């Protein structure tokens, strides 16, 4: 999903009235993130922090929460799903943080 954010004209979503609807809207979770304070102890998160500090970020958790329209708490997801997560930090020069969640409905 992260790659789609780089292209404003890229439409991802679903077909409605024979046209593809653009899925990234300000009020939905596709343009958002999930957060849990335990992420901060993950080695991949720590690598991401190191990569973005050179861009002036000194409180990455605060920046992540501030820069997206919505933040879904992992504890909320766990009310409905048994889930595990992995974190992946990519690219030193243009860092991105991917939070991958696998959930099974309770």
Coil vs helix vs strand at 41: helix
Exposed e or buried b per residue across 48-65, where buried means at least 16 C-beta atoms within 10 angstroms of its C-beta: bbebbeeeebeebeeebe
Cα–Cα distance for residue pair 6/29, rounded to 1 Å: 17
pLDDT in tens, 58-86: 888 888 888 777 788 899 999 999 999 99
pLDDT 10s digits, 24-57: 555 555 557 889 999 999 999 999 999 999 888 8
| Residue 90 belongs to domain spanning | 2-105
Q: What tokens were used for 7?
A: 């292209």
* pLDDT given for residue 63 in this prediction: 85
* CA 10 to chain CA mean position, Å: 18
The tally of domains found in the chain comes to: 1
So what's the pLDDT on residue 30?
A: 55
Kindly state the tokens that stand for 65: 């929460």
């Amino acid at each position: 999903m992260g790659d789609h954010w780089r292209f404003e004209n890229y439409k991802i979503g679903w077909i409605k009235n024979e046209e593809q609807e653009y899925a990234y809207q300000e009020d939905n979770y596709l343009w958002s993130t999930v957060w849990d304070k335990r992420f901060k102890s993950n080695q991949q998160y720590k690598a991401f922090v190191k990569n973005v500090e050179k861009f002036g970020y000194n409180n990455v958790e605060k920046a992540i929460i501030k820069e997206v329209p919505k933040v879904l708490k992992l504890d909320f997801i766990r009310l409905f799903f048994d889930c595990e997560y992995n974190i992946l930090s990519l690219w030193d020069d243009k860092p991105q943080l991917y939070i991958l969640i696998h959930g099974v409905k309770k």
